[in-house]
Structure 1
Amino acid sequence: MDLKSSNELDLHFFKDYSKIRESLMNSFDEKISISQKVILSQQLVYSLFVLGFLVDKAVIKSIRSEKLTKDDFLGFLKKRDFNIKDLQQILIKCRMSPQDNLIKFNDKTIKIPYLNIEFFTKMFESKWLDFRIDYNSWCNVVDFVVDYSKNFDFINVFGTIFERDLALITSINSEEVTENGYAKILVKLNERRRRGVYYTPKEITNYISKNTLKSFLADKLGNKNDSILDDIDKMGKNELSQLMDIIEKLRILDPACGSGDFLIEMSNEIFNLRIEISKKLGQKINPYEIKRSILTGNIFGIDIQKSAVEITKLRLWLWLISEELPNFVPNNNQPLFPEMYFNIRNGNSLIGWLYEDLGIKESDYHIDDNLMYLHVRVKEAITNNLLPSERKNLFQDTDEFIGQLIIVGEKQRLYTKLDVLKTLNENLRKLVFTRDLAPNIRLSLYAIHMQLRHVQYQAVFDKFCDFIKQKNKQISLTSSDIELINPFHWNIDFNWILSEGGFSIIIGNPPYIENKKIRNKLEKQLQKIFYKSAYKLYDLAILFLERSLKLLGKNNYLSFIITNKFISTDYGIKIRKILLTQTKLKEIIDVSYLSIFSQASTYPIIVTCKDASSVLESNQLDNQIMIAPRLNDLKLLENQSYKKIKIKQKNFFELPNHIFEISGNISILKKLEKNESIIKLSELGTFYYRPFGF
């Protein structure tokens, strides 16, 4: 699907989808908020599309020899006495059945396998009790799904639709919106859609994913030439096995994952590479199992919006079965879609405990009844599902922790409660990903995990608040503040990755929000505590840069498509210095001249860098940066046939205020700086300017 047809399909689909969404929203109780109506309507439409997709893939099928078609299945729902409970009945069997469930409709009996306990959770909220829709409107909903299912690039095009819905929800949540206000938001968003503001080309996500992965792997194999992955045919078995081992241990993060575009693209790159290597090694290939291992072991994402997290999971699950399934027959316990609550999380990526020293209190060493209860619950759940030989290793650490805490009581100084909680949670994670567990056990373990997480966050709460207070005495965080900010404590949720050294690759498109639009005063105060780059009129995107560099493992890679404003503005001086002294910049590609961004208010660039493992001195900045100025054709990016300029990193460092000059005129700037006869504007007075919007 080319760019033009993709845009046309997007616009046509979204126009029709908006009408369907409106009719659904009007079918809810008036007491439900507009934002909730949007989310619930969205979930219903998406659930119909997904169920149709599962029928196409023969995941949901007839128990007899006759083929079950998507039209037949959706037609069953288009009956005059339709009730939302009919749809919920199907979805709940997808989530909870210990074995294949049978449902009869018309003259067919269909089989629905156990998919996942997280599958469309919002479809079971109490708000659906008052959902009433007339028959004609319901028929229009089903017909809409049937029509667009026939020629629809389901996973990729839906990403754009998801992003647009997220933009609508964000706009609604940003203020108290009345029906009239909602209409105004729709008009504004429709105008922005017409201009293509939200469309981020797949070519860009593909380029960033493929080239960052290639650079990382070539680097780990000790090859200075990134083309090593183009020469897999020349590799011996030992080198191929080494490459496969590196790939299987990858930890890839998108810290603002949105609808998951980058995670899906990177998953595709890893999958294709693993298939190619497996063929060369003569290994048996199971596409489903390879994809499943990628989702559970390689891919990680965070987003501040819960709906974005749900959408990302859904798209990754659909990507999992986008290949032809090799006659997949799930056993009674293994879900078709793996649990992803350990990998794709909701929270504020920018605020939370990372490596900061929060200190230790006396109470941290004390064993309490709640902790003992959680230990017993986890142990019972695991004991009931593992052989004695399998249990030993999982419990060795926690039994030692608990035993020491009990023996020495309050006076012990060996372990803290967080030590025990983290180890319990890690045992739980291993169990969920490595064992076939019955759905009711999985649901129980999920509940235990959420309780463990809550207890860990509570254990950190006071210390986190004290840490903030020490940095800024004017800030006194309350529980309601924490709930609103929704901090993400990396040292809890991804402690096991941080203890391995950090993430292998971090990619994405961090949100650009101007300083004046960061309206939460408390959040601004917190950002200035955690970030050196929160300087003057900083924008939110550069904070994601600084945070991601802290999360990145030594000598590992980061690549973002990000606004270019920080490369020359006053507020960008600190993040520029961080990039120049803590990373080795690899490339900067100016994509702001692409027609797709012509009406946008931001001017994006692609920045790729490698962690320097230590702070670089000015005499250590000799690495070459590849600069691509004014790229105006996506095909040039895809073919990598664009104009390239190579400069040394120290050239940026030596420019006034470490400006990143990416237009190819760095020699002119140097001459101007050295020409003493030139009078600088700063010597005449103070001037403010905003060329090109910054």
Structure 2
Amino acid sequence: MKIESSAWNHQTQYSAQQRKLLGVHYTPDNLIDYIVSHTLFSYLDKNKFTPLDKIKILDPACGSGLFLLKAFDLLCSLWQKQFGQLKPQDIRHILENNLYGVDIENNAVHEAKKQLKNKANLLGVKEVNIPIFQGDALLHSFTDYQINLLFSNPKIFNWQENFPKVFAEGGFDCIIGNPPYIRIQNLQPKERRNHYIERYQTARGHFDIAGLFIELGHYLLKPQGQLSYIISNKLLTTQGAKALRTYIFKHYSLIEIIDLGDTKLFEAAILPTILILEKQIPASDYFLYTSIQQMRKPATNYLKVENLFELLNQQPHCEFIQWQQRYFQVKQFKTALPKINQSIWTFHTTREQKLIEKLKQNTFCTLADISHKISVGIKTTADNVFIKPMTFDFINNLHLESTVIFPLLESHNVCK
């Protein structure tokens, strides 16, 4: 069995309810490959004088270690290419000095260490101390008194105490991962939720704790360090993520956004987006934006690809592609950075932006001007129960009260 497969199988041991509570989701292999390689190569390209043996890579919610396993493989490959060989002491150095992880679940930490040790054993290294620890990465500012007072089984994680060498050198170079998606209302215990709200600037409104990992990343990264996460695309538009968007604008340089939309590229209850940030003042007024949307019908002209994410590294010129019997529209372009007072983040090609400006110039008002409120439509999670066609006979025969029956206007009811 492949070691990566064993780590992935460990994640499947969680029940659906456990995955929801922990925010655990399975990340596909090719997506991990893309994030790890893209982040490391980008960092090394911008920091050419950073020795390979000094690189510090962190996954602050590492789970069973899939991202760290990929990072290990890539570092071994780069090491062998740069130095011509990979000795046992080099492998030990990579595992003990280049890769770091934290996870709130002890079983996940044990699994991540085991998989990396198995890789080391296959390469002839028997004894190795891998710096992966259990703890809540987001809880790191309590005093001992407060910890004992608030938590009977504390999982506070002291970053500087556990990784002293990293902070002696200024912090981590790269932070990667797929942080948990847990809504504020699902956080338990409430002391944990309250601490997040007190501790983090971005913990405002109906926030998701994945966003807190972005704020944490700024504290952990060294200057010019890079952060690459898979997060919900709600970051771009929802009111609950407004504080996070403002934080990103003020503290990071936005390098790239890859909006995967409703492509269902992996099993998650969110619409995923890859966010790539750098800890520095923006050196450019532009960043790279990619949108990948699944098509219901294939286009007449399309490119068939083996790996969707390898295509992104090549900055695709073909807009329509086929991958695994599915068809996608891919748009990739450089666009202006969002403004700090911009209520939502939406991005358009130059052609689309010109069309929008033309429409604005030739209209007397917008829908927002004449409506009281525009929001997401009804979400019952059981439309066949709450929303279904009802005839008057159906209502009368079941003696349904008029006070609970309402007309529903849908898009197909709207006529010119």
Pairwise TM-score range, normalised by the shorter structure: 0.7 to 0.9
Name the residue aligned to 2:339: 653
Aligned counterparts of 1:603 and 1:595: Cα–Cα separation in 2: 8
What is the DSSP-based 3-state SS (H/G/I as helix, E as strand, rest coil) of the residue aligned with 1:586?
strand
Letter in 2 for 1:522: E
Aligned counterparts of 1:634 and 1:305: Cα–Cα separation in 2: 35
Which of the residues 104, 118, 131 maps onto 1:318? 118
Aligned counterparts of 1:663 and 1:337: Cα–Cα separation in 2: 53
Aligned counterparts of 2:235 and 2:56: Cα–Cα separation in 1: 28
| 2:67 maps to 1:254 | no
Query: By how many angstroms is 1:316 displaced?
Result: 0.6
Letter in 2 for 1:349: A
Aligned counterparts of 2:284 and 2:45: Cα–Cα separation in 1: 20
Q: String of CA shifts for 1:515-537, please: whole Å, max 9, x gaps.
A: 32224322121111111111110
What is the DSSP-based 3-state SS (H/G/I as helix, E as strand, rest coil) of the residue aligned with 2:265?
helix
Contact 1:556/1:610 (<8 A) preserved: yes
| 2:312 maps to 1:624 | no
* Structure 1 unaligned blocks of 5 or more: 1-151, 175-196, 222-241, 280-284, 329-335, 359-459, 466-477
So what's the TM-score if we normalise by structure 2? 0.76
Q: String of CA shifts for 1:43-71, please: whole Å, max 9, x gaps.
A: xxxxxxxxxxxxxxxxxxxxxxxxxxxxx
Aligned positions of 1:201-216 closer than 5 A? 201-216=28-43
Name the residue aligned to 2:406: none
Contact 1:594/1:634 (<8 A) preserved: no
Letter in 1 for 2:133: R
**Which structure shows the bigger proportion of residues in helix conformation?**
1
Which of the residues 67, 73, 79 maps onto 1:268? 73
Query: By how many angstroms is 1:669 displaced?
Result: 6.0
Letter in 2 for 1:605: T
Query: By how many angstroms is 1:647 displaced?
Result: 0.9
Which of the residues 609, 613, 620 maps onto 2:277? 609
Name the residue aligned to 1:547: 216
TM-align CA RMSD: 3.0
After superposition, the Cα gap between the structure-2 partners of 1:171 and 1:559, relative to the gap in structure 1 and judged at 3 Å, is closer
Letter in 2 for 1:461: D
Query: By how many angstroms is 1:322 displaced?
Result: 3.3
Q: String of CA shifts for 1:477-504, please: whole Å, max 9, x gaps.
A: x626334451112232224322321111
What is the DSSP-based 3-state SS (H/G/I as helix, E as strand, rest coil) of the residue aligned with 1:656?
coil
Letter in 2 for 1:350: L
Aligned counterparts of 1:674 and 1:577: Cα–Cα separation in 2: 29
Query: By how many angstroms is 1:164 displaced?
Result: 1.4
Aligned counterparts of 1:689 and 1:557: Cα–Cα separation in 2: 34
Query: By how many angstroms is 1:538 displaced?
Result: 0.4
| 2:105 maps to 1:348 | no
Aligned positions of 1:290-301 closer than 5 A? 290-301=90-101
Q: String of CA shifts for 1:286-325, please: whole Å, max 9, x gaps.
A: 44322211000001000000001100000110121334x4
Name the residue aligned to 1:304: 104
Count of residues paired in the alignment: 351
Name the residue aligned to 2:10: 162
After superposition, the Cα gap between the structure-2 partners of 1:496 and 1:288, relative to the gap in structure 1 and judged at 3 Å, is closer
Contact 1:303/1:345 (<8 A) preserved: yes
| 2:251 maps to 1:582 | yes
Query: By how many angstroms is 1:156 displaced?
Result: 1.2
What is the DSSP-based 3-state SS (H/G/I as helix, E as strand, rest coil) of the residue aligned with 1:596?
coil
Query: By how many angstroms is 1:545 displaced?
Result: 1.0
Aligned counterparts of 1:677 and 1:626: Cα–Cα separation in 2: 33
Contact 1:296/1:338 (<8 A) preserved: yes
Query: By how many angstroms is 1:337 displaced?
Result: 2.7
| 2:25 maps to 1:337 | no
- Give 1 or 2 for the bigger CA radius of gyration: 1
What is the DSSP-based 3-state SS (H/G/I as helix, E as strand, rest coil) of the residue aligned with 2:128?
coil
What is the DSSP-based 3-state SS (H/G/I as helix, E as strand, rest coil) of the residue aligned with 2:364?
coil
Contact 1:505/1:552 (<8 A) preserved: yes
Query: By how many angstroms is 1:584 displaced?
Result: 1.4
Letter in 2 for 1:580: F
Aligned counterparts of 2:379 and 2:46: Cα–Cα separation in 1: 37
Aligned counterparts of 1:166 and 1:604: Cα–Cα separation in 2: 21
After superposition, the Cα gap between the structure-2 partners of 1:667 and 1:567, relative to the gap in structure 1 and judged at 3 Å, is farther
**Which structure shows the bigger proportion of residues in strand conformation?**
2
Letter in 2 for 1:250: I
| 2:361 maps to 1:677 | no
Name the residue aligned to 1:34: none
Aligned counterparts of 2:245 and 2:359: Cα–Cα separation in 1: 21
So what's the TM-score if we normalise by structure 1? 0.47
Contact 1:587/1:607 (<8 A) preserved: yes
What is the percent sequence identity of the aligned residues? 25
Letter in 2 for 1:550: Y
